[in-house]
Amino acid sequence: MKEFIEELIKREDESIVSVIAFTTYNPSIGRVLEAGGIKKFQQIAEALVKALPAVTTAHDFDAVHSQTVSRLIRDFRTARGIEVSYGQAQKPINVFLKVYVDWAHRPSREVRDRLLPFLHVPLDSILMKAIKARCSAWYSSEIRPKITASQQAFSLSKLDQKTYQSWQDFFRQQYPQKPLVFDIAWAVNRIKT
């Protein structure tokens, strides 16, 4: 039994990544992406976690984030068998990072505190509509010109990297110490709907 317990203790960090990946992937995007994608997402989350301690700047974080999103786009298809968009790919990654880094204080408190100003806000239609309602001038000048079709406005399947980055830049400018504070709008506005 002692060896079994030692093995469990040794694998705790791995287990935390795996469970958080599973519990964030399914509700955030599991129904939109291909069936059976959780194992692939867990591998993506493991690679992402290994890269986090080396991140020291927003530029570093954005590069790691972009590589991770690109990997998800490359490795996944949607449930309908089509290519995953940037908007769809960012969602499980950002929800995973929110829970793993911010809420679970992983991989360490020091890394969490360093990463908080860099983390991206998980985008979805609820949050984007809430921001548009409260910051209509910004939305009209920064986001609206990038929208080429009306259905694109709040659709993750139509969200490209350039528009996505405009949203993240806005969040960082408005609350640089912890842009993830804007994710609270998702919870508050989801309750209303």
- Decide: residue 2, CB within 10 A, 0-12 exposed, 13-18 middle, 19+ buried: exposed
- Each residue's pLDDT tens digit, 33-81: 888 889 999 999 999 999 999 999 999 999 999 999 999 999 999 999 9
DSSP 117: T
pLDDT grade, residue 18 (50/70/90)? confident
Mean pLDDT (the chain) is: 91
Task: Classify residue 146 by its DSSP letter.
Answer: G
Share of the chain above pLDDT 70, in %: 96
Q: Does the pLDDT of residue 193 top 60, yes or no?
A: no
**Considering the entire predicted model, what is its pTM?**
0.90
What pLDDT sits at residue 190? 64
What integer pLDDT is reported at residue 150 of this predicted model? 63
Ramachandran class of 119: left when φ > 0, alpha when ψ lies in -120 to 50, beta otherwise:
beta
Helix ranges restricted to H, the chain: 2-10, 12-25, 38-51, 58-75, 86-97, 109-115, 125-134, 136-138, 161-174, 184-192
Residues near 40 by Cβ (< 8 Å), separated by ≥ 6?
A: 75, 76
Q: Are 167 and 123 in contact (CB under 8 A)?
A: yes
Higher pLDDT, 53 or 13: 53
Distances (CA, A) of 40 to 17, 80, 93, 133, 156: 13, 18, 12, 36, 20
Task: Quote the pLDDT of residue 9.
Answer: 86
Grade residue 112 by pLDDT with cuts at 50, 70 and 90: very high
Euclidean distance between the first and final Cα of the chain, in Å? Answer: 50
